[in-house]
Each structure stands twice: as C-alpha cells, then as structure tokens.
Structure 1
Amino acid sequence: MIQTTIYRTESGHIKSFTLSGHALFANRGDDIVCAGVSAVSFGAINSVIALTGVEPEIEQGDGGFLRCVFPTNLSKDIQEKVQLLLEGMVVSLQTIERDYGKYVKITFKK
C-alpha cells in the first residue's frame, strides 16, 4: 500500500508531504495505481518549480519513498500559487484513493 501523509501548518497550508510503499495493484510496469500516484505527485512538484520558481527540498529513497518540503517564507502571491498547485495534487490523490483505497491511504497531519 502507498502511504501518503500531507502535513499542514496551523493555518492550513500544505508545508510538506511524504509518500512511501508500493501499491501492489499489479506487476511492476503494469501498476496503474503506482503510476498514477507518481505522476500526480511528481507533476505537482514540477509544476511548483516551473510555475512559481520555488525549489522544494526533495528526498527520495528505497521503498517508493518521496519527501517534499516547501519553504514557508514565501511572499503571499507565490504562497497562494504554490498552495493552489498542491491542493490540486491532493484532489487528484484523493480521487485515486476513492477508487483504489485498498492500495492508497492518505493521512493529514498538522
């Protein structure tokens, strides 16, 4: 199962997220759940970088591990853009979780 944790600030902004594990929906190369979660998460990171110029701290590891931390000292305008892109990622991940909840679990923490 892919465990996804979204960390929010007290004000509700997404400050970081982690992914770990494998969906095990299908064999490697055919796993649409893993591919979907990867495409959504990496697409969001790439969009933040390309559209806002913000470079998050990214850590990748074995076992499908991805950790992404966003700076908190951004201007209001840039912060709003980053948050909109990240909230879009959350909506897409929740859609995958809704349809494939046996393989993806999202947790929110403050």
Structure 2
Amino acid sequence: MIKVDVRRDQEGYIHTLTIKGHADAGPHGYDLICAGVSAVSFGSLNAIQSLTGLELDIKQGDRGGFLRCDVPLNIDTECQEKVQLLLEGMIVSLRTIEASYGEHIQIEDHGR
C-alpha cells in the first residue's frame, strides 16, 4: 500500500509530505496506481521548483517507493502561498486516486 503522510504547521501550511510504499496493483513497471501517484507527486514538486524558483528539500529512495519533501521555513509570503496552492492541488489529485483505489493508497493529513 502507498501511504501519504501530510504534516502541517499551526497555520495549516504543509511543511512535510512523505509518500512511501507500493500499490502492488500490477507487475513492476505496469502498476497504474503507482504510475499515477508518481506522476502527480513528481509533477507537482517539479512545478513548485520551476514556477517559484524555490529549492525544495527532496529525498528519494534509490529503488522507488519513497519520496519526502520538506518545505523551507523562511520563505516570503507570496512564495509560500504559491507553494501551498500547488501542494494542495497535489493532495486533491492524490485524494482522487484514493477515492477510486483506496485499497492501494491511504492519505493521512495531520493538522488539518
């Protein structure tokens, strides 16, 4: 199962996002749920870096199945708003996958 862990600060801003595990919904390389989660998450993080110029602290597992993103603490308000909008969009997309394939992906959103 893919587990998505969203951590928020006291203002409700996402400060850490961790995705780990495998959907095991098909053979390696043909698992559409893993592919969808990967496309949504990597696309969103790439969009943040490209559109804001912000360097995120990203860690990945060398064999897949692990992605962690920490949002820097001291960024200006305008950049923070853009980052949060893109991260919230990512969560909406992941929840859409979860709604159809909840036996393969689970999202925990702490501080919401």
TM-score of the aligned structures, taking structure 1 as reference length = 0.96
Give the secondary-structure state (helix, strand or coil) at the position aligned to 2:7: strand
Q: For structure 2, which runs of at least 5 residues remain unmatched after alignment?
A: none
1:29 positional shift: 1.4
Q: For structure 1, which runs of at least 5 residues remain unmatched after alignment?
A: none
Mapping for residues 41-60 of structure 1, pairs under 5 Å: 41-60=41-60
Aligned counterpart, 2:109: 108
1:60 positional shift: 1.0
1:63 positional shift: 5.6
Give the whole-Å Cα distance in 1 for the aligned partners of 2:64 and 2:81.
32
Does residue 24 of structure 2 align to residue 24 of structure 1? yes
TM-score of the aligned structures, taking structure 2 as reference length = 0.94
Give the whole-Å Cα distance in 1 for the aligned partners of 2:48 and 2:64.
25
Aligned counterpart, 2:13: 13
Aligned counterpart, 2:79: 78
Report the residue type matching 1:2 in the other structure.
Answer: I
Percent of aligned positions that are identical: 52
Give the whole-Å Cα distance in 2 for the aligned partners of 1:77 and 1:58.
21
Report the residue type matching 1:88 in the other structure.
Answer: G
Where in structure 1 do 4 or more consecutive aligned residues deviate above 2 Å? none
Number of aligned residue pairs: 110
Does residue 69 of structure 2 align to residue 68 of structure 1? yes
1:93 positional shift: 0.3
Give the whole-Å Cα distance in 1 for the aligned partners of 2:76 and 2:69.
19
